[in-house]
Amino acid sequence: MLKSGLVSVTLRQLTAEKIIKLMQKSGLELIEWGGDIHVPHGDIAVAKKIKQQSRENGIGICSYGSYYRTAESEKEGLAFETVLDTAEALGAPVIRVWAGNIGSADADAGYRNRVIEDSRRICELAAERKIKVAYEYHKETLTDTNLSAAELLRQVDHANLYTYWQPPNKMDEDYCAKGLQTILPRLTVIHAFQWRFSNGHGERRPLQEGEERWLRFLDIANQSNTELPVLIEFVRNDDPEQFLRDAEALKSWLHTLNQGH
């Protein structure tokens, strides 16, 4: 079952209260609150407040976008325990983290091992509180290619480690679909957006323009037979009205796909 939602930092210029109102207007079901602006790391009072406001307005919290980077954040002063405390106060069942800050082509074996070790450590800590850890699927980290992402999940080999997925920029549809199929057993959240690239520059486009490929991706995702959030991330011109149009497109796709399951 695919469920519709939003990544709060998509509209980072808006307050949490305004985002909640937009969510109600959009009819989306779930939200991932971000740790960089709307629910800052360590601000337990804000986390509890946002949890209450979300629930009072019928919005489910599916995850906490923490921006914790394995093998990096601890030495920069962000303890995972702080992230974990915040996610718990927020009522988020999943914490999104990054697999280091170096792309797989540039990371040596020692760096990869440090990411693996820190991943295992934080997965254990989160498991004690029944919260999942999931990698961001992103460039300039160790999940930047299909092969590296799948291999990293295998190497960490922890029951509490999952992954997000999003179509890698500048890659063809078949490559994207293959990567999604590969990580399906560990998939926990999808980030949905539509970009167009020309001369190396990306342009945000209405989500509806990606209907054909997104129906293919989401059909693959729906094979997981789990409740899977599909969250809008990035909207054209950061425009709330464009977000509402994107939400209509997403809801339409999910309705079609869920009817077939």
pLDDT recorded at residue 197: 85
The pLDDT score that the predictor gives to residue 103 is 97
Give strand pairing partners of 217.
none
pLDDT at 102: 97
What is the model's pLDDT at position 41?
A: 97
Q: Write the CB contacts of 215 (distance below 8 Å, at least 6 apart in sequence).
A: 253, 256, 257
225 φ, ψ to 5°?
55, 35
Nearest to 165 by CA among 151, 115, 145: 145
pTM: 0.96
Three-state secondary structure call for residue 62 = strand
* Neighbouring-strand partners of residue 231: 5, 191
User: What pLDDT score was predicted for residue 228?
Assistant: 97
- Domains assigned to the chain: 2-259 (3.20.20.150)
Identify the pLDDT of residue 96: 98
Is 12 within 8 Å of 34 (Cβ atoms)? yes
DSSP percent split of the chain into helix, strand, coil, nearest 5:
50, 20, 30
Model pLDDT, residue 101:
97
Q: What is the mean pLDDT of each run of 10 residues along the chain (261 residues)?
A: 96 96 97 97 98 97 97 97 98 98 97 98 98 95 97 98 94 96 97 89 93 97 92 96 98 91 64
pLDDT score, position 160: 98
